Amino acid sequence: MPPYFGAAILGLVVWASLAFVFGHALDVAQAPIGTRYNEWEKQYGLTYQLKGPFGKNTLIVNDPKGMNHVLQGRNYQRNSGDTELIKMCFGHGLFSAEGEEHRMMRKNVSGALSNQAVQEVSHVFFELAERLVRSWEQKLDGNESGIFDITPDIHRLTLDAISMTMFAHDLSGGEIPTILKRITHSPPDGPADVLLKTFASQFPVIMNLPSPMKKWCTELRTSLGAVAKEVWSGHEAAGMHAKLLTTLAKENVPEDITIANIIGVIFAGSETTANVIIESFYELARNQDMQKRIRAELAAFEAANGRRPTYEDLINPVHLPYFDAYTKEVLRTKSVLVTISRTAVRDDVIPLQIPAKSASDFKDVYEIPVKAGTLVEIPIRDGINVSEAIWGPDAAVFDPERWLNPDRLPESVKWVHAQGNMLTFGDGQKVCLGRSFALAEFKAALASLVRVFAFEEVPGVKFDFYHVGGNTVKPMIHGRENEGTQMPLKVTQL
């Protein structure tokens, strides 16, 4: 792209400097994961500024104390451009609300995702995993091994897990997966996408203009609205649960907000969990010793107890310590959240754990003054979760052993107050409500599949990971990015 370009905006051709229009935003959106925020941390420290679109600075806060301040306090809200995009896709509900309205909506939904609720539906996770085992056995068709893309099956697994437990429907066989794929497997943001989000933050009405994304989101809301009405009318399939709809009905939540919450939970509960599960099998394929150790631990448990692990066993780190350590390391290093973005709603001062350098005299500063309207971004995947300043010099290394020996974890990890000392599920007022659900689903799938199948890399296939389909991370084959997201592995039946 030339250093100057013309864009048609509201019928007018506007010529502008590429650097001025996009700042670093386009570069960040299109770069492979692992090539930007972690490299900038090495150059500029934990707290620095990037140029945003149209010359507006973005404050990058990779400092744990600063991050805690932004996420725990009430001086920051979701970026208005992101909020408008959520409203377009989901409707107005839990994921777009702020302040007291958000707290009330969160309270309404929390019962459906409590530890007790997850325990009651956990059998569905194991049943779906066993169904996938049978499907892969049929796919191998009597052969010892085969090479295939695991991503479609894992996405169907997690979609069914959330739909069969939250609103008593098996959605993977209908039109909804196709609509979801259009939305969530869209390519990395291009120049037009970056411009749209930039203008939407200032002029939300832009989101009402016709676009493919708006069309898909309308189709999704219509389809799920029909599902919700079926369940409300008393239809509940055998062996399924309607935890979310039952909870919302008890709270007398209006239909439009209920549908918005359903769509949001589907995105948060299926899309993100699927990507974590996919990357967990990728790491097994890359680390055969880890894979064999997990399989041996599961086999030893079964031999000692005369049964396979249950939900209670999988969530208890004492019963399967290496398995638990492996899942923790996956969650730390494979977060699907690239960043958390917030906008300051009033003037503020952000305190720092580790000093930044003053732009004027390069002196250490432990506080950053912030003006209302400032965009603050907290890097997760390539930031807090893998920062050497927090996790030590081996922060980027995938090593489950760090969780088995408490002395391996530096004291600095305690600076991150979020559960597990990582931001995979966010923190503060908008911390992920479905953490227990996602963990149970992830562990059930991993334990069920690794005992039956072995996973290996495909020779000559290298993966890069990109920020696509919203704020999530997906794999693409290096040099074959035009084929879209995929994760082919060699799968062998044991």
- If one counts every other C-beta atom within 10 angstroms of the C-beta of residue 171, the result is 21
- If one counts every other C-beta atom within 10 angstroms of the C-beta of residue 81, the result is 22
Q: Are strands 12-17 and 57-61 parallel, antiparallel or unpaired?
A: unpaired
Residue 192: Cβ-neighbour burial (10 angstroms; 0-12, 13-18, 19+): exposed
The backbone torsions φ and ψ at residue 399, rounded to the nearest 5 degrees and listed phi first, read -145, 95
217 is in an annotated binding site: no
- If one counts every other C-beta atom within 10 angstroms of the C-beta of residue 356, the result is 22
The residue among 93, 32, 24 whose CA lies nearest residue 57 is 24
The type of residue at 315 is I
Judge whether 443 and 315 are in contact, CB under 8 Å: yes
Distances (CA, A) of 104 to 108, 146, 248, 286, 426: 6, 49, 12, 44, 19
Q: Are strands 488-493 and 453-456 parallel, antiparallel or unpaired?
A: antiparallel
The residue among 108, 436, 437 whose CA lies nearest residue 247 is 108
Which one-letter DSSP state was computed for residue 359?
A: T
Judge whether 368 and 70 are in contact, CB under 8 Å: no
Judge whether 220 and 89 are in contact, CB under 8 Å: yes
The backbone torsions φ and ψ at residue 254, rounded to the nearest 5 degrees and listed phi first, read -55, 155
Annotated binding-site ranges for heme: 432
Annotated binding-site ranges: 432
